[in-house]
Amino acid sequence: MKKLSTLLFIFTFIYNCCSAQETCKVLQPYIAGTYTGDCTDGKANGKGKSVGTHTYEGEFKAGYPDGTGTYTSDNGGYYTGSFKKGKMEGKGTMHLKTTSGKDTVLTGFWKKDKYVGEFEFPHKVQDQSSKVARVNISIINKGEKTGNINITSSQAVSTAPASSNAVPTIVEVNVIAGQYISKTSSTITKTSVLRLQQMIFPFRARFIYNTGDVFEAIFNEKADYEVTVNLQ
């Protein structure tokens, strides 16, 4: 009798586990089919693998690929990287199959299933001191024959003393990453212009003014940049 009860307990345990696994849903249509892995509240959650028309193996959250994983399409192309709510989001690598038999590889950042580029952002202001009111960065030209950064600095008219003749001028460039080969500077009325040329990207530097103010910026993409800075 005791042996029979033990067998019934084991059978019930196995049945419940299998039943729970069968009802574990994957909500992404193309990979919904056969799922094996972690499950919470009837949905794929944690590490697992789901095989439908396409295949996904990696991290899930609430029934969707979420975290790090590999998504393989029915034509053999695949993406390995980050996902969020079922979409490619963040850093990853896509291998696309071609008729020549050689994969086309895209490595970089993705946003809602769309390829953003090699870098998450082409440029970014990383830091600035309190009296640097505004730093605007824009790309004015792209291509192989590019690699210049023009920085135009001025003092906000509303805050500049009427008797002041000081011109905000960058006196030091502390390079953190990358390189520039040459630089030139000029001053027009209350505006100064610093031009960095023959850049090696990605480039990151701290720009220090004669006033002691500073801003730090990152330039990832190979391009010509226009930077305008207003100081209080």
Beta bridge partner(s), residue 77: none
Report percent pLDDT > 90 for the chain.
76
Is the per-residue pLDDT at 19 higher than 60? no
Q: Tokens 């952002």 sit at which residue?
A: 121
- Compute the distance between CA of residue 88 and CA of residue 65 in angstroms, rounded to an integer: 9
pLDDT of residue 22: 52
In whole numbers, what is the pLDDT of the chain averaged over residues?
89
Beta bridge partner(s), residue 79: 71, 94
Q: State pLDDT tens for residues 170-197.
A: 999 999 999 999 999 999 888 999 999 9
CA–CA distances in Å: residue 58 to residues 88, 118, 136, 179: 13, 23, 40, 39
Q: State pLDDT tens for residues 44-59.
A: 999 999 999 999 999 9
Side by side, which strands form the sheet with 43-51? 34-40, 43-51, 55-61, 64-72, 78-84, 87-96, 104-111, 114-117
- Compute the distance between CA of residue 90 and CA of residue 67 in angstroms, rounded to an integer: 10
Q: What is the DSSP string of 76-123?
A: S-EEEEEEETTEEEEEEEEEE--TTSPPEEEEEEEETTEEEESSS-SE
Map out the domains of the chain as residue ranges. 2-117, 123-231
- What dihedral angle (degrees, nearest 10) is formed by the CA atoms of 34, 35, 36, 41? -140
Beta bridge partner(s), residue 124: 218
Lowest mean pLDDT among 101-105, 121-125, 146-150, 155-159: 155-159
